[in-house]
Copies of this chain bind each other. A is one copy, B any other.
C-alpha cells in the first residue's frame, strides 16, 4: 500500500496486490478526493458552465438532490488523473460515464481504475480499464470504462 498526500486534498493511493511494478490485468488503482465549493466555482470559471444546478439550491431540490451536486465531468476527471499518476504520458482514447448518484461538497469519493485488458502495440500498450467511483458506504457514483495508450506498463514509483 502506498500513500500520497498532495496539496491539501485528501488523497489515498493503493493497489490490489503487493507486486505492482508492472501493470497486469486485474490490478486496481485508486485515489480518494473531497471536492469543495471553491472547486465548483473554479470548474465553472474554467468551462463557462454556470448551470444553476450547482449554484442555486432550489434547482437540485427540484430533482430530489439533498444539496448542490459537484459537476459530473469534474468528478470524472479522477479517472485520467489516476491513470496518468501511474503512467505519465498516457493518452486518453475513450471514456464512458454513467452518473448514478450525486456527490456533494465535503463527501469523500474514491475513484477506482481496474485494468481489464492490455494489448501491446509496437512499443506502446493499449489498456482498457473499468472505471468506477464510490462514496461512503459503497454508493456507486460513476460507472464506466476507459481506454488509454500507455507508454510503458512500468508503474511510476512515488
- Interface of A toward B, CB cutoff 8 Å: 6-7, 9, 11, 33, 39, 42-43, 45-53, 59, 62-63, 71-74, 76-78, 80-81, 84-85, 88-99, 124, 149, 151
- Asked if B46 and A42 make an inter-chain contact with CB atoms under 8 angstroms apart, the answer reads yes
Interface residues of A, dominant DSSP: mixed
Q: Which of B6, B33, B62, B149 contacts A151 (CB 8 A)?
A: B62
Could you say which residues of chain B place their CB within 8 Å of the CB of A85? 49
13 other A-B residue contacts (CB within 8 Å) besides A42-B42, A62-B151, A73-B77: A42-B46, A51-B80, A51-B90, A53-B84, A53-B88, A53-B90, A62-B89, A63-B89, A93-B98, A94-B96, A94-B99, A95-B96, A95-B97
- Asked if A48 and B92 make an inter-chain contact with CB atoms under 8 angstroms apart, the answer reads no
Q: How far is the CB of A120 from chain B (nearest CB, A)?
A: 15
